[in-house]
Structure 1
Amino acid sequence: MVKDLLEMVSQFIFYLGIVFTLLFLYKVFYIFVAFKARRDHSQEEKEVPLHKYAFLIPARNEELVIGQLIQSIKNQNYPRELYDIYVCADNCTDQTAEIARQAGAIVTERFNKEVVGKGYALNHLLNIIKRDYSSESYDGYFVFDADNLLDENYIQEMNKTFNQGYRVTTSYRNSKNYDENWITSGYALWFLYEAEFLNRPRMYLKTSCAVSGTGFLIHSDVIKENGGWVHHLLTEDIEFTVAQIIKGEKIGYCGKAVFYDEQPSIFSESWKQRLRWAKGFYQVFMRYGKDLMNGIIRGKGNRVSCFDMMMTLAPIIIVSFLSLVGNIVVLLLALLEGEGLFNEYVFRGAGGILSIYVFLFFFGLITTTMEWNKIRCSNWKKIFYMFTFPLFMFTYLPISLVALFKKIEWKPIQHTVVKSIDDLR
């Protein structure tokens, strides 16, 4: 009977692996496209019109880092009269508002304990601009978190992509604290992979890229059409992305526009943050999954983008979890049954777990190799963190499972890495 159960579990894992491979094979294709896109990227620089922008920065108890962000924005190689900096000190109990004002930002304070989250702070800022600064005419709005830092050419590069006609554009996300530990490097390596091996090939293939958290530019017309910032699920960035793609919008990517952000270094903080992300993905999937499916079936120019986002949202992490658990069950059953089944099933189960590790290691290896010179970290740590990257990704499995059943509310992540853009150079 144990042998029959082992065979049944093994078959389940096998067919699950086939489905998983077929659905995500296109992301391996993206890697090859990314290499070609990088080779073809060098183009003759042309002068483009300069536009006026506003920076929107929601901040909750960010007195340690808000000043460095504002300074990096003020130091841009872009005419200072063509951009303004707005900060929403959202339910703050520290000196965030005062420090932001002293640094040169236009600051508004918001106190509302009933509706909390980044989306509400963004909409508050947009309402304040509309009410009190209506004389200012902004062509677009940058969205940043308080812990970010901008490369000095950030606006200049984003303005070029803006002039290509993209009404939403995301950028290259690097890390302030890649070298801190296996958790911070795990985050950072994923964001680098997302930028160069997901968004770059999407841009090259003229499908839609995806906004990820922070560091993006929105045309003022999009804000007007949406009636402000109307996305308030736990992952407002993914909700915004999906909603725009369903409408037929193509989100652009600017790899030359570089910014840095801080990653959680304590596992409990990381668990809390990624639990919110996982729950938010489920929320977006439940709300927009039907529309994405309609886009895949009936869409004209955005079928690929709808499929891509469906594969991003679909709870594939649960499929991975089932596969991993299945392999562990095979291992345990084979060990309990005795030596007779050991060779046949233990190696099969161990091979399944190892194959998942190798699959994730491959993505970490490719990303680390290609972005080697951009990673702020010693060489031996770069190599070491390639091996810990799959372990970091494995931790998403229990997080995603807990997120299915646990009620989760938005909570801020404390930022403590105080660096300037000069420190990162």
Structure 2
Amino acid sequence: MLSFINTFNLVIFVLFTVLYSYQIGYAGVALLKRKAKKHPAPKRLHRYAVVIAARNESNVIGQLIQSIRNQTYPSELVDVYVVADNCTDNTADVARMAGATVYERFNKRLVGKGYALDFIFKILETSHKDKGYEGYFVFDADNLLDEHYIEEMNKTFDQGYRVLTSYRNSKNYDTNWISAGYSLWFLRESKYLNNPRMMLHTSCAISGTGFLISSDIIREQNGWKYHLLTEDIEFSIDHVIQGETIGYCGGAMLYDEQPTTFEQSWNQRLRWSKGFYQVMRKYGVSLFRSIFHKDKHVFASYDMFMTIMPAVFVSLLSVVVNAGFLFLALFSLDSIPQMIPTTIWSICSLFINFYVFIYAFGLLTTITEWKNINCSAGKKIFYTFTFPIFMFTYVPIAVAALFRKVEWKPITHNVTKSIEEVR
């Protein structure tokens, strides 16, 4: 039994490493591959609409709109639209005063960002069709934009990409280990996932906010048809299956506010975990088939499949099996002196291996993105050690998501900084 559990844990670690070894390759590409030359001046300055779905965001939405108004991109080519979605505060009034066109939506049955996006896209594609929008930016109300954001995104959009995501930074990295955990993850996603994907000409993935989508796609799908709990990954996977290449613009920086309490973080990541299960159930078979379809994005399909499935299930299997052996050890009186310490050491070894693996990515991201992290040097170093702990908390969240009914819940945003204060 003892040799079995040691072998099992070794197999789990090797399996995890093999499945995600391509991400180590991504890191090598990001570090070693010569960066592409800067994009040439775009042939056209395209016309855009900015779409913001907001629910009780009066504290922060004004700062976002101001950062959009302060863009270096010609203001006459950018219009801002806000969906005040089931608001009970003065979000709509604040947004109007900041210069946005506001539509209020009240629907307690169809709740969630996906429904709000569908609502506004259909209005824009009918009532505002004469504006000739070529693309739609999607932001959350708590975001802030670097002043060159739209200018940089336009350069990449002009190359022919119909979907683009951007570099995601944080407004409140230095608040505590929870906000830092989120922030470090999104920095890693930008630098060591989407960046090398773009360099290798495979498909990226949008991540909740800070993306640009061609109006052609909105017309093709008659609005926004993604309404699972994680509509961003649902959109990404559906389009990878269809053969769409999602691009990435590292020169366009967005600042996002992260949760700071464990309760907020639990609720949000519970929704994400449940949403990943939903996406796997709806798209998993088609996505898996795409891996072996020569006319599809083979590598991108594998990448997305790894994104939504194995890590959580491999971790859950490991926890269950190790806990089971520990339970058996406690009730096997003849072997307690030998089994219990060996089983505990085996569990600790597995934990240490995963901790080191995750820590290495967090440390690498912190070192290479040091100048972009708005935080004291001491905290930057300290949060590399808490980053694996933050990631480990996904395990109980993933377990709870398997059994609990999860609904979309808004996260309260209170960081009322301007873009100048954030930087």
Fold match by TM threshold 0.5 = yes
The answer to whether structure 1 residue 13 and structure 2 residue 5 are counterparts is: no
* 1:116-127 correspondence runs (5 A): 116-127=111-122
Aligned pair partner of 1:198 in 177, 180, 193: 193
Partner of 1:110: 105
Partner of 2:263: 268
Instruction: Structure 1 unaligned segments of length 5 or more: list them.
Output: none
Cα deviations across residues 335-378 of structure 1 (Å, max 9, x unaligned)? 88454457755433322211111111011011001100000100
What is the number of equivalent residue pairs in this alignment?
A: 420
Partner of 1:353: 351
The one-letter code sitting in structure 1 at the alignment partner of 2:405 is K
Aligned pair partner of 1:248 in 240, 243, 249: 243
Cα shift at 1:226: 1.2
The one-letter code sitting in structure 2 at the alignment partner of 1:65 is V
Cα deviations across residues 51-104 of structure 1 (Å, max 9, x unaligned)? 000001000000000000000000000111001000000000101000100000
Any idea what SS the aligned residue of 2:290 has? helix
Any idea what SS the aligned residue of 2:255 has? strand
Partner of 1:411: 409
Bigger mean CA offset, 181-190 vs 405-414: 405-414
The answer to whether structure 1 residue 220 and structure 2 residue 218 are counterparts is: no
C-alpha contact (below 8 Å) 2:39/2:156 kept by paired residues: no
Cα shift at 1:131: 3.1
The one-letter code sitting in structure 1 at the alignment partner of 2:239 is Q
The one-letter code sitting in structure 2 at the alignment partner of 1:17 is F
Aligned pair partner of 1:148 in 143, 146, 152: 143
Cα shift at 1:326: 4.2
Any idea what SS the aligned residue of 1:161 has? helix
Cα shift at 1:134: 2.2
Instruction: Structure 2 unaligned segments of length 5 or more: list them.
Output: none
TM-score (structure 1 length as normaliser): 0.95
Partner of 2:170: 175
Partner of 2:22: 26
The answer to whether structure 1 residue 69 and structure 2 residue 67 are counterparts is: no
CA distance in 2, matches of 1:77, 1:44: 17
CA distance in 1, matches of 2:157, 2:147: 17
Partner of 1:237: 232
The answer to whether structure 1 residue 100 and structure 2 residue 95 are counterparts is: yes
C-alpha contact (below 8 Å) 1:324/1:352 kept by paired residues: no
Cα deviations across residues 215-238 of structure 1 (Å, max 9, x unaligned)? 000011111111110100000000
The one-letter code sitting in structure 1 at the alignment partner of 2:13 is G
Aligned pair partner of 2:202 in 207, 213, 233: 207
The answer to whether structure 1 residue 320 and structure 2 residue 315 are counterparts is: yes
Cα deviations across residues 12-53 of structure 1 (Å, max 9, x unaligned)? 22222222221111111110011134x423436434310000
Change (3 A) 1:388 1:190: same
What is the root-mean-square deviation in Å for CA atoms of aligned residues?
1.7
